Structure 1
Amino acid sequence: MIGSDRKIDGGKWVNGRKRSIVTDTLGRIWRVEVHAANIHDGVAGQDLIYPDFTGQMPRAKKLLGDNAYRKSFAELTADLDTVTFECPSRPVGSKGFVVEAKRWVVERSFAWMNFYRRITKDLERAVKNSVTFIYLANIQMVISSLDKITT
């Protein structure tokens, strides 16, 4: 059924599913989790780490996340020996929009996903299909960036 794994996030008024990703500094996607929208980002992000995060990404030294990942996600990454977690914060006393360090990398990756209709409309019945199409879109982005380099 198409309605499975879909809920409403009361804070953002997102109906359906949300995506959590781990990217490198160039915005290439390494891990993806798609979950119901009512699950908090910090709790959903834990699935990105376990199982076997350090085995899949042995060179990763630092994970960056926004304020939603400060509690349970940060506690979980404290158990990892090779990876540290950092949450960039706003300067004290600042008001309005402030660019937070390195956060734009993940936001840019989400913006790139908007070019792929199959991802933005999310008509997939199974969560695994949604994850697969995100990986396929990432593969296409990486190949097109290699094509720009070689020409």
Structure 2
Amino acid sequence: MTQKQFPPINLDQAKALTTRWRTYYADLLRAYKNWNNKEQIDINVTPNDKDVFRGFTIPLHDLKKIVEAAENHNNKKKNKDNQIDAVRGYLAMDKPIDKDTPGLVHILLLPVAKRIDITHVSQDDENGTETQESAIYDFSAPCPDVCDTSSPLYSEPL
């Protein structure tokens, strides 16, 4: 089966997609912040608010590590029928910080072979002994904390 290809998209498409996401997330955040059984409160959250989650900064070094783990896995003869051919991302979240602040959003990346998550990969230690190592990478540098606030994808001009 051929892996679906995802070519780059143009800036206008990217702006439309990120604007749609910010609007959706702002609606969720507004509902979260306004939910209270004891009192009626109304907190307005807009798509350009600083609390609206926008994306992740993933260091190139970390991307290289996941590619290296996949290549090491694929180079082992025992894995010839179970080649890693993709990476999957899962959104995750810490426990809420307090009643008004949701937890930090994470993106967890892990290798995929034939549409199946690979949670562990084999590594050889210095003695040549094979050990199992987690293949789940936690990239927890979310926007807006680590972001280019001048990016046209960050917010709509006011």
Normalised by the length of structure 2, the TM-score is 0.27
Higher radius of gyration, 1 or 2? 2
- The structure carrying a bigger helix percent of its residues is 1
- The structure carrying a bigger strand percent of its residues is 2
Normalised by the length of structure 1, the TM-score is 0.28
